[in-house]
Amino acid sequence: RLKIKTKYLGLGVDRLDYAKGIPERFKGIEYFLDTHPEYREQFTFLQIAAPDRPDIKKYIEYKDVVSREAERVNRRFQTKVWRPIVLEMVQYSRQDIRALYKLADICVVTSLHDSMNLVCKEYVAEKNDERGVLVLSQFTGAAHDLTGALIINPYSTKEIADAIYKGMTMSPMEQRRRMKTMRTSIKNYNIFRWAAEFIKAVAELG
């Protein structure tokens, strides 16, 4: 439906919120295509930005910023048959997002400040074949657990671009090693373990 036919698919799934660092992500993609032109017409980044608080002025302004940034990058690189960034400002169903997680070669999470980002864990959980690469902001809580991710500073355009390139050139063996580590972490650190540790911490305070 989106007419994405490139060899590689990158994915971002976020609420349309300034804290998610979507314009910063687009600048990283631009830098990646600048420094590695061989990936032009080979790589497409699908950004799903679910509407959030659409009646608030700041939200409307941010939506415009994200749209303009995607359009700017596309104008630089697009051809008659390819756009580097496909921006979808709509709410996707859980079923569709799960399918996209399975398809994506790389998932990029560039939160500027966040306590926890579940998208990265959802992406890893769907990778039954242990293929794929996660690029993850150092400011997410999940960065402490998902040590198999490529950890980046989301304010650094170069770090984002370098991580995307490293992900695109990573061997299948290395992908499986990293993904297996992250999937084990998610499996072991579930809600029951979190609750037990929380109760233990509260008890120790007493």
**pLDDT for the residue numbered 38:** 98
- pLDDT tens, 94-145? 999 999 999 999 999 999 987 667 999 999 999 999 999 999 999 998 998 8
**Structure-block tokens of residue 107:** 């998932």
**pLDDT for the residue numbered 53:** 74
pLDDT at 57 over 90: no
**pLDDT for the residue numbered 153:** 97
- CA 138 to CA 167: how far, in whole Å? 17
**Structure-block tokens of residue 196:** 């037990």
Tell me the residue type at 78. Answer: Q
**Angle, vertex CA 50, rays to CA 128 and CA 77, nearest 5:** 85
**pLDDT for the residue numbered 128:** 95
Burial letters 63-91, b for 16+ CB under 10 A, else e: beebeebbeebbeebeeeebbbbbbeeee
Confidence (pTM)? 0.90
Average pLDDT over residues 52-60: 78
